[in-house]
Amino acid sequence: MKKRLLKRNAAALLTLMLCLFLAGCVGNQETVLTIGVYSGSYWNTPNGNSYQILDDVITLFEQSHPGVKVEYVSGIPAGDYSEWLAEQIMKGTEPDLYFVLPEDFDLLVSSGALAELDERIAGDPEVDTAVYYEPCLRSGQFQGRQYALPHESVPTIMFVNKTLLETNGIDIPGNDWTWEDFYNICAQITHVDLRQYGVYGYSWLDAMYSNGAALFSEDGRSCYLAEENVQQAIQFTKRLGELNGGYSVSVRDFDLGRVAFRPLLYSEYRAYQPYPWRVKKYSAFQWDCVTMPAGPSGSNASELRTMMLGISSRTRHEDLAWELCKLLSIDENVQRELYTHSHGISPLPAVAEDPELLLQIHHDIPEGSGFSPEMIHRIMSSAVVVPKFDAYDQAMIMVESAIQEAAGNQLGQSGMLIAQSEINIFLNKS
Amino acid sequence: MKTERNLTNLAVAMFVLNLSILSFYSLICVTTTFRICDSLSAHDFLTSVRQIPRYPWQMPVQSLGLYAVLCGVSFFKLFRPIEHFPLRVFVCAAEIALCAGIIVSLNFYYSGVALLVLADLVHYMRSNRMRLCFIVILSLMFAFGRYEIVEQFTNSIAFDAYLGYYNPMIQSCFTGLESLMVCLNIILFVLYMILLFTGQKEENARIRKLNEQLNQANDQLRDYAVNMERMTQMRERNRLAREIHDTLGHTLTGIIMGADAGLALMDVAPEESRKRIQIVAQSARDGLTDVRRSIKALRPDALEHSSLAEALEGMIENFRLTTSAQIAYDQEAGTLNLDSDEEDALYRAVQEGLTNAVRHGRADRISVRVTRTGDLVTVSIRDNGIGCAKLEEGFGLRHMRERLNMLGGTLSYGNLDSGSQNGYTGFFITVGLPIRNKKGE
């Protein structure tokens, strides 16, 4: 009698548990899509409400996709984002969709963490890659395949100390100036005894990008160190350095208004040019920005850095992740909001070159901005995307030491050729 | 039996050892993954391996899960023997598939499970061809299921990459433990194989010995049967001798003495002599009765109480019932009034023929015909059995021939051609017997 009672109780309990389990399954049908995002700005600029745009996009997305909930982990500083993402990948808990920092793109693609998007792009009638600036789109490509879509780009531009130039009676250079113009102005400005200098932080790489040169091939198998246009860039920066008579210009000199030029990220221009931030930095002098000076065999091009969006290769919600990715990357309304609140340039020409929007963005800049729609178009379409590959950092160290060595001895071209073949051997081994 | 127990112990040891090895790899990979994350070196690790690792839970869950199933299958077939051969092969194939699954789920770090499965299957399957098949497949899996070999084709992270996280001291401890366990597995496998094959050799020797003993016993039995037959003949002969001595000897002695007395008294007292001769005649008649009684003691019981026709019918009916063979019986000879020895001969011939048809020919349809032409009675027996490949006169047929020859009859037998009448293709026996008493015509 007791046994039977026990049996019946056990059966009832089991049924109850099964019902609960089924109810749990049915109740939990809400799909959770995760997105990996960093807080603050990646571009070295203050950004008060970094999640505002994302939250708006998520609300929009959840409204158009009932039953889907988008979640993200907040409070990961941009500087820790790479490590955080790597940890998530190690633990197998990486988000379905995540922001890809320019320096992580190569690692994420070559380790297979990012899903290839070519088929999706080809199969989606809403996506036309022609709506992007070509260099922005190219940032998300690896060996000819698309792995990420651009979200926001930042080119390098040249900061000009207007006050210094005016006091020396020099006109502010136009956006189509050349190395020679640049050198001449620097030569005029530089008075070592007056502690007045031409340029701070202009590297031979900056010169190289504006001289139509590339240091490495796209696949990272060959180095072009000894090429004519690379050598021109190295020689040019050397000449510029010689103007200072051996003095190494510091950031303090620049902040005190004693330096005429300094390469700057476009985002910093956006952040510090309008009120109230302009009070915070470089308040002692008037300043503006122009394009980088063009080399003899190049244009006014500069390096472009692009924040991208990639889909995890292991996601179980690839379709949803793709929808959200599209919304963040290609949706004009979202990009407009981003353009207004963040400090980069939209990868969509239709947004980036919208005169009304530009007016709104630049309205705080006294005397207006030199960045007209045509200017932005020129900068963005000619921008240089630096190919990154596994051995990039190591190869860069080898290039730098080769240049230093060449400066020490007088081997010149032949020394560079030897260094180039050594680096080529290293690149093909790794 | 002792060997079998040792084998089971070794197998259990191998199962436990492999479980430890699987747990070792899983544990190292999982804990190292989390340690790497905790020490903020995940980005460096990814940069060095350039490969996304599998989900941390995947290796322990998959490898240990598959291993549990493998153990289950292995022990199930030990305790529940499977008779059906294809099913046995299927179970073996399932074990091989599980083994492959375990090796893959362990990222090819360890392929020693193949040895465990090989030992298990070689013990289970006794067919040499199957064994060879297993040895080839599993040896290949053991040899080629190594990370170093499949590295180019798989996108998993090398075990050394995980070990690289630790300092050299701990690293060497782990590698030492790893190679120790892998070696121990190989040693256990070799021991298992040695024990298995020596054990089988002993068993073969034992079977050979038992076979010899059986053959000996068979020979003894055959000798015994021959002796038995000889003794039966002897006893029958003694009985006949005793019968002859008791009846004929006694009667003839009396007749001789009576006849002698009659001769002696013939002239002196003819009356007395006649009396004596009458006694002699009576004595001879009594003797004859005795002889008849003796012979009757050797006759079939059926003939004792009924006529030949009835006796044959009874016997055939009995035969039908006991053997379930279809027997067609045609008596076309009319009323037969035969002497008892002639009845005996025919009765025994039919009996022997039916018995042979069923016993040697394995027939299920038999025809028996009795016909008479003049004073010759013919009995023919045909069947649809397998006939006789080698026509050799056995004891029964020889006896039949002797019996018939004594009465001036004939016996012929042989295989029937396929084209012969009534569709009988087996064996035939034809008996011809000239009858002495022509009254029954």
Asked which of A110-114, A412-416, B158-162, B382-386 is least confident by mean pLDDT, the reply is: A412-416
Highest mean pLDDT among A388-402, B91-105, B375-389: B91-105
Q: Assess whether pLDDT exceeds 70 at residue B344.
A: yes
Question: Per the CB < 8 Å rule, is A92 touching B54?
Answer: yes
For residue B170, what pLDDT is reported?
Answer: 95
pTM equals 0.69
Closest Cα in chain A to B32 = A90
Please give the pLDDT value at position B264: 85
When scoring A38, A85, A87, A89 by the number of chain B Cβ atoms within 10 A, the one with the most, hence best to mutate, is A87
What is the predicted pLDDT for the residue at A275?
55
Which chain A residues contact residue B162 at CB under 8 A?
Answer: none
Q: State the nearest Cα–Cα gap between B160 and chain A, in angstroms.
A: 16
Between A and B, how many residue pairs show a Cβ–Cβ distance under 8 A?
A: 51
C-beta atoms of A90 and B46 within 8 A: yes
Between B5 and B99, residue with greater pLDDT: B99
More confident residue, B301 or A300: A300
In B, minimum Cα distance to A313 occurs at B52
Q: How confident is the model at residue B361 (pLDDT cuts 50, 70, 90)?
A: confident
Q: Cα distance from B207 to chain A (closest Cα, Å)?
A: 54
Question: Which residue shows structure tokens 């290839």?
Answer: A116
Beta bridge partners of A141: A146
- For testing contact with chain A, the best of B32, B34, B36, B52 (most A CBs within 10 A): B52
Across the interface, whether the CB atoms of B45 and A90 are under 8 A apart is answered yes
- B416 — pLDDT class (breaks 50, 70, 90): confident
Q: Closest to A86 (Cβ–Cβ): which among B42, B51, B58? A: B42
CA atoms of A333 and A339, how far apart (whole Å): 10
Average pLDDT over chain A, rounded to an integer: 86
Alpha helices (H) along B266-415:
270-296, 301-305, 308-323, 340-359, 395-406
Q: How confident is the model at residue B150 (pLDDT cuts 50, 70, 90)?
A: confident
Q: From CA B171, how far away is CA B194, in angstroms rounded?
A: 35
Residue B50 to residue A89, Cβ atoms within 8 A: no
Global ipTM: 0.83
Residue A285: DSSP 8-state: S
Instruction: Report yes or no: B365 and B389 within 8 Å, Cβ to Cβ.
Output: no
Instruction: Give Cα separations from A179 to A183, A196, A228, A376, A381 (angstroms).
Output: 6, 20, 16, 20, 20
The predicted pLDDT at position B441 comes to 40
Distance from the Cα of A51 to chain B's closest Cα (Å) equals: 25
pLDDT at A316: 92
Contact A107 B155 (CB under 8 A): no
pLDDT above 80 (res B246)? no
The pLDDT of B136-143, averaged and rounded, is 94
Report pLDDT for B4.
Answer: 83
CA distances from A115 to A130, A328, A386 (A): 21, 17, 22
Residue pair B159/B107 in contact by the 8 Å Cβ criterion: yes
- Nearest-CB residue to B42 (from A87, A110, A314): A87
Token digits of residue B428: 């035939």
Whether B56 sits inside 8 A of A86 (CB atoms) is: no
Percent of chain B's residues with pLDDT above 90: 38
Which run of H or of E encompasses B173? Answer: helix B168-243
pLDDT of residue B257: 81
pLDDT at residue A1 in the model: 47
In the predicted model, residues of chain A with pLDDT beneath 50 are 1
From A393, which residue of chain B is nearest by alpha-carbon distance?
A: B47
Contacts of A87 in chain B (CB under 8 A): 37, 40, 42
Closest chain A residue to B56 measured between Cα atoms? A91
Range B95-103 average pLDDT = 95
For residue B421, name the pLDDT band (cuts at 50, 70, 90): low
pLDDT at A386: 86
The answer to whether the Cβ–Cβ distance between B37 and A91 falls below 8 Å is yes
**Do residues B402 and B354 touch, judged by C-beta distance below 8 A?**
no
* pLDDT for residue B438 is more than 60: no
What is the per-residue pLDDT for B440? 43
Single out the residue of A208, A245, A242 nearest to residue A225, CA to CA.
Answer: A208
* E strands in A230-384: 259-265, 287-290, 304-311
What domains sit in chain A, N to C, each tagged with a CATH number?
A: 31-153+305-382 (3.40.190.10), 208-233+391-430 (no CATH)
Q: Between residues A97 and B155, which one has the greater pLDDT?
A: A97
Predicted local confidence at residue A22, as pLDDT: 67
Residue of A103, A111, A114, A316 best to disrupt the B interface, most CBs of B under 10 A: A111
Q: Do A91 and B43 touch (CB under 8 A)?
A: no
